[in-house]
Amino acid sequence: MITVRKIIAFAGVLFCLMHLPDFAFSQKKIDTAKLQQAGRYYQEREFEKAAVLYKEIFEISGSQHYFVYYLNCLIELSKYDQAEKEIKKEIRRTNKDASLYVQWGALLKQQNRFEEASDKFESALKLGPKYKSDFIQLANSFISKREFEWAEKVYLLGRNSIIDDDFNYELARVYLYQRNYEQMLAEYLELLKKDENNLSRVQSSLRSALRSDVDDSLQGMFRQLVLKSIQAEPGVVAYNRLLIWLFTQEEMYSQALRQTIALDKRSGQEDLTIAALARVAGNNHFYGDAIQAYDYIIEKGVEGVSYYEAQRSKMQLLYQQYILKDEDALSEEQLEERFESTLAVVGENPESVGLLIDFAHFLAFYEDKPDQAVQILEEGRKIPRLQAIQRDFIKNELADISVYKDDLWEAVLLYSQLIEANRDNELGDEVKLKKARLGYFMGNLSWAKALLNVIKAGTSKLVANDALELSLFISNNSNLDTTEIPLQQFARADLYTFRNQGEKAWAVLDSIETNFPRHSLTDDVLFRKAKIKIANGDFQQAAAYLEEIVTNYSYELLADDALFQLAGLYENQLMEKEKAEGLYKKMLVQYPASIYVTKSREKYRELRGDFEDDKETEFFEGGAN
């Protein structure tokens, strides 16, 4: 929620910025140690000591910044008469600084001298700011004292005083503080009407405002007001774009697409916008809406600027749907036909290499056609104008297919070549991990650990973390045993899983449970079984395996992994949001040192319907512009 504390803190920062030249100049004159000591006293609420130091620092520097701190100390000590005396003295010194009248009025109001306070606030207005910066400075002085109505008056005065500046953005910010959402939105819409280039700025501010809208009252009002504005002034395209943005924020992609298509019907120039909308929808697993957007671009014909991108991206979404067992996914036969027809349309060229690799992977790992996949990749390596990195991505897939075919030493050779050619990039790091994992698959645990130890020290953080995890896993499940057979069998199950041979992996995992009961691998076996069930779309059974880990193996290293995975299943697949919320909370309570704590906290707050304070600062930071 947007809090008064945040508002005051932001206004204080702005006040300091307004006095930056004075502040920067004075830094040379004041004792830094004394300033730090004053700050400590202030934070520790030792206002008597802080007041003495801040008064001295203010008298040396003449900075209003330190005067405000000094004044606050007096107010905290209830020394109202002295505070008022100091304000009057400073007004005489500065020749009636308007912000000092705001301080004076706030001091009087704190003593319930309301009429006198209003007089002082009026005096601040009557001093007559001349420039935009003057109006902003005075308004921020009022905001720092939570006098939002007076800040509004400042900007309305500025609207009548400065030609060509209506202070729409600044007023919208004040109306947000007042929770006057209708007026806030009206100001933003007026800002857009004047110049569509203000769209990103308006979106940034509204995004923060919408975060505080826990009961969706702002969202509904926002939608209705924008729709009315579109009907009243259909020529203002920025209104349509704002509505499209709102629909996207609400994950209402079909409505956003409808609005974007309506714009395209008018201009014929929205292909890039529609393609961007499709990418967002696809990334959020709204595959139907994303595919519909790509279909619209495709139907416009080959002359469109996004035609080939739409063809490639649609095919990748269809493939993703299949992998994730989406209810609308194509069958294997249909998907193979789509790959072939799409590649026939887009052609084999540098832009379609990613699609070619996906097709080969699908043929090998899902249709058990590795030889056909290798043939496609070998032809792909002959495509003219390929970059070296693209050829290496093809070779990487060839190596993976060698693992699938159980030609493991050929895979080792290809991985080694890739590492040599990509010593300083992300692909090289990933392949180093693949090579080490291949040693693990082969049951050569000491060789795998040696490679993993090298990777931990010299690769990207993500790859190094994965290497550390596998290294610890091997160590934890082999050091205490007289035989490595259970771990080697488990590695074989992981190899089958890599090959997408879930039934074979399951059989090996069953045999480990049978032959090595109460082994340290038991929770890992359950975790692997859960993953296989997830891959098969059996989310309920996967949840049962994860529940068993969380309940019976809460002391094991995998416990927090299982808990986070379980919460995700209930949130996204099983659609039991309350249960997911409870599991995320359990992560925070039981595993405070887990790497999943930050994400769990975000998810918990999101499901509970509130937000972290630091997210609110986006609005205030935007307001400083």
What pLDDT is stored for residue 623 in this prediction? Answer: 34
Residue 56 maps to a domain: no
Tell me 351's DSSP state: G
Q: Are the C-beta atoms of 256 and 244 separated by less than 8 Å?
A: yes
Cα–Cα distance between 318 and 305 in angstroms, integer? 22
What pLDDT score does 295 carry? 97
Is the four-CA dihedral 449, 455, 461, 462 of positive or negative sign?
negative
Contact of 335 with 362, CB cutoff 8 Å: yes
Cα–Cα distance for residue pair 174/344, rounded to 1 Å: 57
What is the chain's length? 625
pLDDT the model gives residue 165: 87
Write down the pLDDT at residue 592.
93
For 517, the token pair is: 């009961």
Residue 573 covered by a domain: yes
Assess contact for 390 and 425: CB atoms under 8 A.
Answer: no
Residue 291 DSSP class: H
pLDDT at 479: 63
> Exposure pattern of 108-146 as b/e (b: 16+ CB <10 Å)?
bbeeeeeeebeebbebbbebebeeeebbbbbbbbbbbbe
Q: Which domain holds residue 573?
A: 485-492+509-609
Give the whole-angstrom CA distance, residue 625 versus residue 622: 6
User: Could you write out the DSSP letters of every residue in 110-171?
Assistant: HTT-HHHHHHHHHHHHHT---SHHHHHHHHHHHHHTT-HHHHHHHHHHHHHHSTT---HHHH
Query: Could you tell me if residue 408 is inside a domain?
Result: no
In-domain check, residue 566 = yes
Distance CA 487, CA 492 (A): 9
Neighbours of 317 (CB within 10 A): 23
Condensed to tens digits (0 to 9), the pLDDT of residues 165-195 reads 899 999 999 999 998 999 999 999 999 999 9
Residue 446 corresponds to which tokens in the numbers above?
């000491």
Cβ atoms of residues 172 and 187 within 8 Å: yes
State how far the Cα of 266 lies from the Cα of 269, in Å rounded to an integer.
Answer: 8
Q: What is the pLDDT of residue 424?
A: 86
pLDDT in tens, 125-166: 998 788 899 999 999 999 999 999 999 999 999 999 887 889
Say what the pLDDT of residue 237 is: 93
Contact 115, 144 (CB under 8 A): no
Q: Is the dihedral of CA 122, 128, 131, 134 positive or negative?
A: negative
Q: Is the residue at 474 inside a domain?
A: no
What distance, in Å, lies between the first and last C-alpha atoms of the chain? 22
- Give me the pLDDT at residue 29, please: 62
Amino acid at 389: I
Count of CA atoms in the C-beta half-sphere (13 A) of 1: 8
The tokens of 346 are what? 């887009």
What integer pLDDT is reported at residue 494 of this predicted model?
Answer: 96
- Residue 514, in any domain of the structure: yes
Kindly state the helix (H) or strand (E) to which residue 24 belongs, with its residue range: helix 20-26
17-56 burial, b if ≥16 CB within 10 A, otherwise e?
ebbeeebeebeeebeeeebeebeebbeeeebeebbebbbb
Does residue 590 sit within a domain?
Answer: yes
Report the alpha-carbon angle 243-249-253, nearest 5. 75
3-state secondary structure of 375: helix
Nearby residues of 243 by Cβ (< 8 Å), 6 or more positions away: 223, 226, 227, 230, 259
Q: To which residue do tokens 């049978």 refer? A: 514
What's the pLDDT at 332?
95
Q: Residue 201: its pLDDT value, please? A: 92
**Separation of alpha carbons 489 and 515, rounded Å:** 11
Question: Residue 29: helix, strand or coil by DSSP?
Answer: coil
| CATH number of domain containing 515 | 1.25.40.10
Residues of the chain with pLDDT under 70: 1-29, 214-216, 479-482, 610-625
Host H or E run for residue 310: helix 307-323
What percent of the chain clears pLDDT 90, i.e. is strictly above it?
Answer: 75
CA dist 445 and 574 (Å) reads 38
Tell whether 528 is covered by a domain: yes
Query: Cβ contacts of residue 43 below 8 Å, gap of 6+?
Result: none
Please state, in angstroms and rounded to a whole number, the distance separating the CA atoms of residues 356 and 374. 11
Q: Which two tokens stand for residue 101?
A: 């009248």
Number of structural domains found in the chain: 1
Q: What is the DSSP letter of 270?
A: -
